[in-house]
Amino acid sequence: MSTPASPRTAPRRGLARWTVAAAATAALVISGSGLVAFAQSGDGASQGPEFVPADAIAYVEGRLDLPGGQEEALAQMLTAFPGFADAGAFGLKKDEAVTMLGEQMGVSIDGDLIGDVLTGEVAVAVSDLEGMMMGDDPSVIIGLAAADADAASQVLDGLMAQASVAPEMTSYNDATIYTDASSSPPASLTVYDDWVLLGTSLDLVEQSIDVLDGSAPGLVADESFKTAWSRLPSPRMGAAWMDLGSFGSLLDMASGMAASQTGVAIPGNLMAMLPTGMTASLVSEDDRLNLDVLVTPGEQTPDLPVRESDLASSFPADTQVYLETRELGAAIKGGLDQLFDSLEAQAAADGEAVDASGMGDMLSALGPDGPITAMLQGVALPDFLDFVADAGVGAGLSSDGVWLGIAGRVNDEAVAQERLDNLVSLLAGLTVGMSDQGVSLETNDVDGVSVTTLTLPLDQSLAGSGVPFATGDRVELALDGDHLLIGSADFVRSALASDGTGSLADSAGYVDALAGDTANSGVLYVNIGSLLSTLDPMLAMMSPEWESLAPYATALDRFIAVGTADDELLHSRMTVIVGQ
């Protein structure tokens, strides 16, 4: 084995400062290109949270050794970025990062830090979230898995010898613990078993030692944690777990603060709707990074409708931003109903406070006898869109301007037509006598479908405000069978004429990003490459830094977030795809 480390003459530093430097370096390494710098070929085995006490509420693991083919996949993906065109550049990046780490810690690393001294597994655990929210010191324990505990101890001893303030030394279970009592909070560091342990208190480090020697319970033995952790893929760059149930007490605190400051309490059933747990994994493929999040729902966590949809067929293939959701009308109704119920309950409990804040007037305006309901022909505001099931929103930007479109599937065509007729009547009344201002409303037959066109002087207004994009002066809406269409420019007419061929749903980029998750609970898709290509001239004029940032930004091609669910879990996949 090569000599792992040797102290050199350097400015003496306190343990707290070294802790910050090490944490910052670890963050850099985990977050992106720094991760590549430490790339080694790992076998995929994870030591896991062996050192983490049972009361932990969150655990994050980073694999700097990039096991199970992750190194090769990440190297290929990064060829899209400047400086990574050749996978052989990994060695240079490694040397640069090791040098930087040594400078931050005040020692020279002569050997192979990841491999000879550390395995490359970095883990962070957090406990007592409520205490931290109340202003107590953070309860954080960091573990670096040691490939050679003796070599890691040599590095640690060299670091402590250079501390500007001599750390306190204590012994616990034959382990020497260094503590910088001058820092806030005190930072403690030791090597025990196969771990380098760094905690925000001496007590936390001692607890971890107890877990490692089996005298105290650990997170790794918790059955719910084991079940959740076992679902994650082994070849991964990182993983995380969180006990979401622990946030219930924080919501209680927030509810009390909200009630005292605003007079509005958080609905009690909101806490009952919390999921119980979450796990996540980060995995690289040749041209993409996948962040998969698995959520375990609680007993009252709302079910997410999962189904196929043809809404993307209404949007052009060059759509740059697309959002699709399920049961939009029901979601709007549920949210507004809950808000109004909360306001009414608070008004009954404390009428003066509510009236003083204007909430009483709001309730009157939105109530069944209020002006909003009258304007909507007797339909309460929460109910007005309850005929909309799934909905998609898309937008695009080009040299011709900006367009926006909405497509929705309705669950009752008769109700949808009645509500739209009421809306058109309302708009007709509001636009009477406004033709001299460039405002008009008309309805025409387009291939057997009634299309209502509202003309507004939008481009003139935007030009006057300095916005460099045109939107067109038309907003149109139509109901084509069970499809509701609303949009600017030519969106509605193009959607009516489309048979789906050449649409977003048919485009190679969208299909590839969707990756077979056609039955889902919702989608967010962004064609980053197309959007940045259009924005490039404007960004170059607005920011002198754009020229140096552009090669990195434009290497990003597409992004998608897609949700699915089964009988046990809610699944969200977020994928960033790069151009090669």
Give percent of the chain with pLDDT exceeding 90. Answer: 50
Q: Are 504 and 313 in contact (CB under 8 A)?
A: yes
What is each CA distance from 203 to 10, 141, 186, 197, in whole angstroms?
31, 10, 10, 12
3-class DSSP assignment, residue 108: strand
For 42, the token pair is 């790992």
Instruction: Please give the pLDDT value at position 506.
Output: 94
Q: What is the CA radius of gyration of the chain?
A: 29
The pLDDT of residue 107 is 52
d(CA 39, CA 63): 9
Q: Where does 110-212 have alpha helices with state H?
A: 129-133, 149-161, 202-212
Residue 17: predicted pLDDT: 45
414, HSE (Cβ side, Cα atoms, 13 Å): 0
**Which residues make beta-bridge pairs with 474?**
455
State in Å, rounded, how far the first CA of the chain is from the last one.
Answer: 38
Are the C-beta atoms of 65 and 119 separated by less than 8 Å? yes
Q: What residue ranges of the chain have pLDDT lower than 50?
A: 1-43, 354, 356
Among candidates 4, 3, 63, 60, which has minimal Cα distance to 39?
A: 63
Distance CA 64, CA 293 (A): 20
The amino acid present at 138, given as its one-letter code, is P
Give me the pLDDT at residue 144, please.
93
Contact (CB, 8 A) for 448 and 496: no
